[in-house]
Amino acid sequence: MLKAVQDSRCKKKYAFGAGQRIPSPEGFARCLKSKSISNQYYKLYFVANNEKVARLGIIASKRCMHKAVERNKNKRTVREVFRSHPVKDNKLDLVVQIRRASALTLAIQRVELASLFSQLEVRCA
């Protein structure tokens, strides 16, 4: 196998597999009826689950971000912050609703999301 291909693979600890996603509309609906934390850019819904790991769902609507490129970039950022934050060690289902994040720089998006995840950790501790 080519060295470039080997180096470009994601390491297992940074992977975002199917087990870390909320797979069904029922899972999303259950989260959306539960408790939430928000700031002006994101709203985070959370509920305890019976799984071994935290699971993530993302809502990125066309109403807030008209271009698919913006929606995909914001979803990628949410997944990246989720993977790197210790909140993933809790047994929770999380749904992040993106509100007005497209106007922010990438660094500020990460700070805002990390702040929400930290608030969630304090609240669930």
Cα–Cα distance measured from residue 52 to residue 30, given in angstroms and rounded to the nearest whole number: 18
Residue 123 is predicted with a pLDDT of 86
The whole-chain average pLDDT of the chain stands at: 84
Quote the DSSP letter at residue 33: T
Token digits of residue 98: 């993106």
Q: Is the pLDDT of residue 30 over 90?
A: yes
Task: Dump the DSSP string for 46-88.
Answer: EEE-SSSS-EEEEEE-TTT--SHHHHHHHHHHHHHHHHHSGGG
Is 41:97 a contact under the CB 8 Å cutoff? no
| pLDDT tier for residue 46 given thresholds of 50, 70 and 90 | very high
pLDDT in tens, 61-102: 998 888 899 899 999 999 998 888 887 778 889 999 998 777
Starting at the edge strand that comes first in sequence, how are the strands of the sheet with 55-60 ordered? 35-38, 42-48, 92-98, 55-60
Closest CA relative to residue 20, chosen from 78, 68, 100: 78
Out of 20-29, 52-61, 102-111, pick the least confident.
102-111
Residue 1 is predicted with a pLDDT of 54
Going along the chain from its start, the domains and CATH numbers come out as 20-116 (3.30.230.10)
